[in-house]
Amino acid sequence: MTTTTATHRGFWYRHPGLRLGGLLTAPMAWLVVVYLGSLAALFLTAFYQIDDFTGQVVKTFTLKNFTTLFTTSAYYESVFRTISIALLVTVLCLVIALPLAFFMARVAPRHWRPLMVALVLTPLWASYLVKVYAWRAMLQPESGVLAWFLNPLGLDGPGYGYLGIVITLTYLWLPYMILPIYAGLTRLPDSMLDASADLGAHSGRTFRSVVVPLIFPSVVAGSIFTFSLSLGDYITAQIVGGKVTMLGNVVQQTYVTNLPFAAAVATLPVVIIVLYLLAVRKSGALENV
């Protein structure tokens, strides 16, 4: 009997470790070779320098790139500007997404939900460039929609620049903030809200003490999207930013003439995101996801 069962079960059945390893090879290869490997190569290049005339990379170890980066005021101003744009975009997305997601999840009739989710997702079907160029036309200081709307009120449109970048990025990443919060809100049990009302809490207190802690992980998930996507963006700055540049633009401008310096600049967003994720973990938002 035992010999028959042994021949029935195959090699992979008898070696679960190898089976697991085999299944994981493809995604692990992608993760380690493509993703981590290229990050490692990038980090290494930051310590090299270039030959002045030919522009080719010379593999001698130097800290020159990092010292230039941290001692030139233009560059760390760029860092602060980029972080501030990313934070502002995150906050604005949150302010717009919360009421929208709440309406979708709690207020609207149940059978409307698929339609509303589809409507939120539709802008993602359009190409990134199409959307940003559309905003370029809308932000145009004289003929754009915003100017047409605000000029009769005596105000100037935001035009191209810092504000233009923030508005465009908020528009672009809004679906990524709405959907996680919507998902979190739909999972909120009605019984919690009933219990809170039974205990005598007003809706404001319920929102503050019951809803917010429960959807906090979703908010954080959405903020990771908006923060990291805004931190690395450079195309939007080129199209609607006027002469304002972000960290990604510094990389884009220097990677041809000075690849090691561009690599040094590129490691900064990686470090910032790692710090952001550590802060997120500290806040406990990832506990019960």
Partner 1 sequence: MQTTRLLKIAAVSASAMLLVAACGGSSGSSSSGASGSASEGAAAPETPGGAAFAGPVGEGEGQVNVLAWPGYVENGTTDPAVDWVSGFEKETGCKVNVKTFGTSDEAVKLVQGGGWDVVSASGDATLRLIYGDNVQPLNADLVPNYADVFEDLKLQSFNSVNGVPFGVPHGRGANLLMWNTDKVTTPLDSWAVTFDADSPYKGAVTAYDSPIFIADAAVYLMATQPELGITDPYALDKTQFDAAIALLEQQKELVGEYWSDYTKAIQAFNSGTTAVGTSWQVIANLAKAEGGKIEAVKAKEGATGWSDTWMITKDTPNINCAYKWVNHIVSPEANAAVAEWFGEAPANAKSCELTADKDHCATFHAGEADYWTDVYYWNTPTTACLDGRTDVQCIPYSEWGTAWSALRS
Q: Which DSSP state fits 59?
A: -
The residue from 2, 11, 53, 109 that contacts partner 1 (CB under 8 A) is 53
Considering only residues 64 through 103, tell me which ones interact with partner 1, judged by CB under 8 A.
Answer: 68, 72, 74-75, 77-78
Structure-token pair, residue 223:
């903020």
CB of 159 to partner 1, least distance (A): 9
Q: Among 32-40, 102-110, 147-155, 167-175, which window interacts with partner 1 (CB under 8 A)? A: 32-40
Token match 């954080």: residue? 220
Find the binding residues for partner 1 in span 206-265 (CB under 8 A): 239, 242-243, 245, 249-250, 253-258, 261
- State yes or no: residue 140 binds partner 1 (CB under 8 A): yes
Rounded to 5 degrees, what angle do the CA atoms 38, 274, 26 make? 40
- CA separation for the pair 289, 285 (Å, rounded): 8
Q: How near is the Cβ of 23 to partner 1 at its closest, in Å?
A: 11
Indicate whether 37 belongs to the interface with partner 1 (CB under 8 A): yes
CA 74 to chain centre: 25
How far is C-alpha 39 from the geometric centre of its chain's CA atoms? 18
What is the C-alpha separation between 286 and 221, in angstroms, rounded?
9
Cβ-based neighbours of 59, under 8 Å, separated by 6 or more? 48
Question: Which one-letter DSSP state was computed for residue 126?
Answer: S
Pick between residue 5 and residue 143 the one whose CB is nearest to partner 1. Answer: 143
Q: How far is the CB of 191 from partner 1 (least distance, A)?
A: 38
**Considering beta carbons, is residue 106 or 136 the nearer one to partner 1?**
136
The helix (run of H) or strand (run of E) holding residue 235 is helix 235-240
The helix-helix angle for 162-186 and 212-232 (nearest 10°) equals 150
Out of 23, 28, 199, 275, the only residue in the binding site for partner 1 (CB under 8 A) is 28
From 34, 36, 26, 43, select the one nearest 259 (Cα to Cα).
43
Total residues binding partner 1 (CB under 8 A): 46
CB 46 within 8 A of CB 263: yes
Residue 55 interacts with partner 1 (CB under 8 A): yes or no: yes
Among 2, 5, 7, 143, binds partner 1 (CB under 8 A): 143
Q: How far is the CB of 36 from partner 1 (least distance, A)?
A: 6
Which residues partner with 253 through β-bridges? Answer: none
Q: How far apart are the first and last CA of the chain?
A: 46
The minimum distance between CB 97 and partner 1, in angstroms, equals 31
**Whether the Cβ atoms of residue 192 and residue 214 lie closer than 8 Å to each other:** yes
Least Cβ distance, residue 126 to partner 1 (angstroms): 20
Rounded least distance, CB 184 to partner 1, Å: 30
Structure tokens at 162: 């810092």
| CB nearer partner 1, residue 174 or residue 263 | 263
Nearer Cβ to partner 1 (232/242): 242
Binding site for partner 1 (CB under 8 A): 17, 20-21, 24, 28, 32-33, 36-37, 40-41, 44, 50-59, 68, 72, 74-75, 77-78, 140-143, 160, 239, 242-243, 245, 249-250, 253-258, 261
